[in-house]
Structure 1
Amino acid sequence: MESLPLHIPVLPAEIVEWLRPQPGQIILDGTLGGGGHTRLLAEKLHGSGYVLAVDRDPAAVAAAEQNLRGLPVKVATASYLELPDLLQELGVTAVHGIVLDLGLSSDQLADENRGFSFNSSGALDLRFNPTEGEPASRMLMRLRENEIADLIYQFGEERLSRRIAKQIVAARTIQPIETAEQLATLVRKCVPRSGDGIDPATRTFQALRIAVNQELQGIEKALQKLPALLAPGGRIAVISFHSLEDRRVKEAFRNDDRLNVLTKKPLTATPEELAANPRSRSAKLRVAERK
């Protein structure tokens, strides 16, 4: 029997408070992950209500099928961009709430074979769905030095991107960079440690993960498509973890004539949550309501 997920959902009380799940409603969780938000929302639904939860990661979906058994939940291996098609298949014309948690789950970080953890000796993959796209290790072998530097600067906002790219290209001529541990060790030699406790490799790994999964393009498309699925008064809540994501959410909500922005400033974790779940430190929640 599989163990229960390690993941602790961020801003759990805020998600329930702002999405206001009620018996009989249908709510979408476009980033199932460890299933924390799905569980909290599903526990508020009864009768004909349910949560439709999707994730690109087949492992997350398989775990959810076991750990959320008995709750009013439907799960599928899919991107949140496929939610309109899934709803059409279910005969659903509108939903009452949507949540997107754009962060990594603790379960993904704990998987040695995915490369999300800096100290992993497993493959440097970084794909949410290991059957789609190009792993990060292959991308680093294929791209030119200037392309690697631009990618790390653009998606990681890493000011030392050119130094890192130069070292990557030098290292790969001797030995392919195939594990997360190899890459993290290389980046740490290029980036001095700061006093904030954040690993120097964080921004580089973020950049590669975003590029491999085409995350920013997906977020932009989702923020155009998903509000159309909401019934009047329905709400969409998005949790982001870095400025590239948060900026896109803020602008999309503000510029969408279908939506009223409910959070003028993003909601963040309370001191109590930070103490219990340090990974919530960079989480920002924005909520909008369908007119």
Structure 2
Amino acid sequence: MCIFHINYDHKSVLLEEAIQALNINSTGVYVDGTFGSGGHSKLILSKLTKQGRLLAVDRDLSAIKIGKIIAEQDSRFTIIHSTFSKIHKHIENMRLTGSVDGILLDLGVSTLQLNDDNRGFSFMRDGPLDMRMDVSSGQSAAEWLSKASLEDIVWVLKTFGEERFAKIIAKVIISTRRYKPIVRSIILSKLICDIVPYRNVYKHPATKSFLAIRMYINNELEEIAQVLEDSLGMLSTRGRLVVISFNSLEDRLVKYFIRDHSCVVSIPPKIPLTDYQIFSQYKSKYKLKDMGKLMPSKKEIERNTCARSARLRYAEKLMI
């Protein structure tokens, strides 16, 4: 059995960079699509005047409880229990479609979830193998593993975790569940740790499998794809979309979305045209301006190892 020591103290990754990328307008309207413990929301609120407004969203009821405390104390702040795919409906109901100045999405798992033994997100903690972001709906990871076919398990591990040992792990899961239900996170973690032949001192052998199962159970990639598409209608002209991702699948999804809706135009020197005048020629097709990518500094990575895989991409909505 391999032993890994991980520090789960809460530290918002790329916190200052994310807020700077939003280019906060003190009287603007903002959406924090992943409230979590409220780190980003609190900093956004500190930049807003009484006229500013922040809508925070989370599908985790534990996060909603924290958000409600802030909402009771700050009239500028609203917290909503929702998935990504429904955010645009809440914006529509609040009559804010096309008026949002910035949308922030931090796609990492929150400390609240990792530190809760009853959630099953962590391969380092023993608890019920649940993995649902919203425990009030859907099937748990244990329920899915108890009935999924070998082919389905292999597909999930390969597709969402890019796990090279997917077939070996899937076979052991199938054989193990015949005599011992896999209902606790530590059981699954030990099972994987004992059979995966590769050892990396920086990554637990169960990392990819836990990621894959979590993403599948919560339909995460489809939810992300939907909110990205919906952001085009929610944002105001020059509104910012800021996304922090922590794995290659999420990052590619964000990267390609921004690329597919962006127009990269080289403006010749001494030509008296602004970016928006150039982009206006393509307004029927292109809706975003790619503002680039930011990565954590060496200092932040040393302070918080969870920041190693973080990538921040952001874009600005063009005048349509």
The aligned residue for residue 230 of structure 2 is 225
Give the one of 233, 239, 252 matched to 1:234: 239
The aligned residue for residue 99 of structure 1 is 104
Give the one of 123, 139, 142 matched to 1:137: 142
> Aligned residue pairs: how many?
285
Distance 1:7 1:83 in 2: 26
Normalising by structure 2, we get a TM-score of 0.86
Distance 1:78 1:115 in 2: 21
Distance 1:6 1:119 in 2: 14
Q: Verify the 8 A CA contact 1:33 1:55 in the aligned structure 2.
A: yes
Shift of 1:92: 1.7
What is the SS of the residue equivalent to 2:308? Answer: helix
Letter in 2 for 1:268: M
Q: Verify the 8 A CA contact 1:97 1:230 in the aligned structure 2.
A: yes
Distance 1:195 1:37 in 2: 32
Q: Verify the 8 A CA contact 1:39 1:68 in the aligned structure 2.
A: no
Letter in 1 for 2:96: V
The aligned residue for residue 38 of structure 1 is 41
Q: Verify the 8 A CA contact 1:193 1:199 in the aligned structure 2.
A: no
Shift of 1:121: 2.2
The aligned residue for residue 288 of structure 1 is 315
Shift of 1:99: 0.4
Q: Verify the 8 A CA contact 1:19 1:237 in the aligned structure 2.
A: yes
Distance 1:195 1:201 in 2: 11
Normalising by structure 1, we get a TM-score of 0.94
Tell me which stretches of 4 or more aligned residues in structure 1 moved more than 2 Å: 64-72, 192-196
Letter in 1 for 2:91: L
Shift of 1:68: 6.5
Distance 2:245 2:147 in 1: 30
What is the SS of the residue equivalent to 2:103? Answer: strand
The aligned residue for residue 68 of structure 2 is 65
Give the one of 244, 259, 262 matched to 2:291: 262
Q: Compare CA radii of gyration and give the structure with the larger one.
A: 2
Letter in 1 for 2:47: K
Distance 2:141 2:135 in 1: 11
2:43 pairs with 1:49: no
Q: Verify the 8 A CA contact 2:71 2:79 in the aligned structure 1.
A: no
Letter in 1 for 2:203: I
Letter in 2 for 1:81: S
Post-superposition CA distance 1:97-126 (Å, at most 9, x none): 000011101111000000011132211000
Q: Is there any run of 5+ residues in structure 1 with no aligned partner, and where? A: none
Shift of 1:38: 0.9
Q: Is there any run of 5+ residues in structure 2 with no aligned partner, and where? A: 1-7, 262-285
Distance 1:260 1:40 in 2: 25
Give the one of 67, 80, 85 matched to 2:84: 80
191-200 vs 150-159, which moves further:
191-200
Post-superposition CA distance 1:170-194 (Å, at most 9, x none): 1000111001000000000121353
What is the SS of the residue equivalent to 2:145? Answer: helix
Distance 2:91 2:215 in 1: 27
Q: Verify the 8 A CA contact 1:160 1:190 in the aligned structure 2.
A: no
The aligned residue for residue 16 of structure 2 is 13
Letter in 1 for 2:43: L
Letter in 2 for 1:273: E
Q: Verify the 8 A CA contact 2:10 2:111 in the aligned structure 1.
A: yes
Shift of 1:209: 0.3
The aligned residue for residue 119 of structure 2 is 114
Letter in 1 for 2:315: A
Post-superposition CA distance 1:140-176 (Å, at most 9, x none): 1111112111110111000000000000001000111
Q: Verify the 8 A CA contact 1:42 1:51 in the aligned structure 2.
A: yes
Distance 1:127 1:57 in 2: 9
Shift of 1:20: 1.4
Shift of 1:64: 2.3
Report the aligned-residue RMSD. Answer: 1.5
Q: Verify the 8 A CA contact 2:62 2:112 in the aligned structure 1.
A: no
Post-superposition CA distance 1:204-259 (Å, at most 9, x none): 00000010000011111111111211111110001111111111101101111211
Post-superposition CA distance 1:13-70 (Å, at most 9, x none): 1111111112211100111111111111111011221210000001111022225753
